[in-house]
Amino acid sequence: MEILKQKLLEAGLVKESGVLQVDHFLKQQSDVVLLDKLADEFAARYVSKGVTKVVTVEVAGIAVATLTAAKLGVPMVYATRARQGSAGEHLLAAKLETPNSTLSADLVVPREYLSPADRVLVIDDFLAQGSTLFALIDLVNASGAVLVGCGVMVEKVFCGGGDEVRARGVRLESLAKILEMSPEEGIIFED
């Protein structure tokens, strides 16, 4: 999506650590006009799939997931992080394996929020190795709901998570795909 790519080129900051800093327009401070256009795109790509719920994870995915859900006319559900193994019977839980952290966590949602009658669209902000997206997919599967697909604002293709998601047969729509990035060279997108 060209408007997102342009914003990433103009305002994104590639750090030496390999992090793409977008806090000032996609995360803690949000460009709501941009997010609204991203939500339009997600909704257009999935409107024919009979989505009944949009699912995301706290915190960064909530804004675009909420806007997408509103455009589809369905509820938005967000998963929260909990200490691994601490989820009670009233919660659906999926293990979140984060490669950059030594902390173990689960993603959880109340059981009554997702059911086998649901057709779920998972939305997230970034996809790198895929740990968060896989945990969200596991939550949807644990509920018995149908996963219609996933949408991410930015996919870091060079990290491989998108390939793994697609290899599992999951439809994945990425609005901007980054092939490589560095502080010296900036961001290079897949066409």
Find residue 173's DSSP bridge partners.
151
- Tell me the mean pLDDT in the region 23-37: 93
Reported confidence tier of residue 179, pLDDT bands at 50, 70, 90: very high
On whether the CB atoms of residues 57 and 79 are closer than 8 A, the answer is: yes
For the stretch 113-155, pLDDT in tens is 999 999 999 999 999 999 999 999 999 999 999 999 999 999 9
Average pLDDT along the chain: 94
CATH architecture of 30-79+113-189: 3-Layer(aba) Sandwich (3.40)
Taking the CA atoms of 62, 63, 68 and 70 in sequence, report the sign of the dihedral they define. positive
Report the distance separating Cα 61 and Cα 110, nearest Å: 18
Report the distance separating Cα 24 and Cα 41, nearest Å: 21
As a whole-number percent, the residues of the chain with pLDDT over 70 amount to: 97
Please state the three-class secondary structure of the chain as a single string: CHHHHHHHHHHCEECCCCCEECCCCECCCECHHHHHHHHHHHHHHHHHHCCCEEEEECCCCHHHHHHHHHHHCCCEEEEEEEECCCCCCCEEEEEECCCCCCCCEEEEEEHHHCCCCCEEEEEEEEECCCHHHHHHHHHHHHHCCEEEEEEEEEEEHHHCHHHHHHHCCCCEEEEEEEEEEECCCEEEECC
Residue 102 is predicted with a pLDDT of 65
On whether the CB atoms of residues 138 and 95 are closer than 8 A, the answer is: yes
- Tell me the mean pLDDT in the region 165-176: 98
For the stretch 96-115, pLDDT in tens is 987 666 677 899 999 999 99
Residue 191 is predicted with a pLDDT of 78
Residue 124 is predicted with a pLDDT of 97
On whether the CB atoms of residues 10 and 187 are closer than 8 A, the answer is: no
- Tell me the mean pLDDT in the region 47-73: 97
